[in-house]
Amino acid sequence: MFKYLDRMANRVSPWYVPIALFASTSVMGIISGWISTGVEQINQYGWFGWWIACLVGASLTAVVLGSASWARYNWVYSRAQKKWAESVDTINPLEKDFRTQRILLSDLGHPITRKIFDKRLYDCEMIGPANIFVHRDILMTGMTFFDCTFFVLWPDIDKKVYPGNAVMLEKVKMYGGAIYGATFLITPELVPTFQKMDVKFSSLTGDPKIDNR
C-alpha cells in the first residue's frame, strides 16, 4: 500500500507544483483586483486599473512562493549533502592502497605529523573540509574537484613556504575519483600541473595569462 502511494505521489508531484503555483497566483490576483475596486485612485482607470492590480497581486504571490520554494530546496539540498558526506567508509590509515572508497581526508592523515604519505588511491571519493599542502612526489590523473579552492604559496627569502596547519601530501598517487570541499595550497612550480586539470586559482599564480583572467 505504501509503495503504491509513493509511486502515485511521484507521478503527481511534477504536475502538482505548477498547478498549485498557478492556482495560488490566480486566486491572489483575483482577490487583489476585487479589493482594488474600493480604491478611488484605481477606480478612475476602470477595468484597466483593476487588471493592473490583479497582475501585481499575482506577481507578488509568485515571487513569495518562488522564494519559499527556493529556500526549501536549498535546505533540503544542504541536509542531503551533509548526510552524503557523513556516509564514509571506515579505513585503516596504515594501509597504502585504497580502491573505490569514500574517505574523509582527515582520516588519511597521520594523527601526529598530519601527513598523508605513501598512499595510492584508485577511483576514491575524498571528502573535506581540509587544508591540503601539495608537497612533493605527487601524481594526480583523471581527478575531479568539487567546491575546492586553490592557493599558491610563495616562498620567502630563504625559499621556504609556510602551509600552516595544512595536511601535507607526500608520495601520493591518485588515479581517478574526486575530491570535495578541500583547500589546496601549492607551490608556484605546480601551477602548470594544476592548470592542466582546469582548476581556478583563488590567488595570484605568477603566470600573467592566468592572473589576467
Please list, residue by residue across 137-176, b when 16 or more beta carbons sit within 10 angstroms of its beta carbon and e when fewer do. Answer: eeebeebebeebbbbbbeeeeeeeeebeebbbbbebebee
Cell 500500500 locates to 1
Rounded distance, CA 103 to CA 106, Å? 8
**pLDDT for residue 77:** 45
Rounded distance, CA 150 to CA 183, Å? 6
Q: Is the pLDDT of residue 71 over 60?
A: yes
Mean pLDDT, the chain, as a whole number? 75
pTM: 0.58
* Percentage of the chain exceeding pLDDT 70: 58
CB 112 within 8 A of CB 85: no
* Percentage of the chain exceeding pLDDT 90: 30
Write the pLDDT tens digit of every residue in 22-46.
555 655 555 555 555 555 555 555 6
Cα dihedral sign, 63-64-68-71: positive
List the grid coordinates of 140.
Answer: 594526480
Give the residue, 50 or 69, on which the prediction is more confident.
69
Amino acid at 99: R
Write the pLDDT tens digit of every residue in 132-154.
999 889 999 999 999 999 999 99
Give the residue, 113 or 27, on which the prediction is more confident.
113
Residue 109 binned pLDDT confidence (cut-offs 50, 70, 90): confident
Write the pLDDT tens digit of every residue in 168-212.
999 999 999 999 999 999 999 999 889 888 888 988 888 888 887
**pLDDT for residue 150:** 95
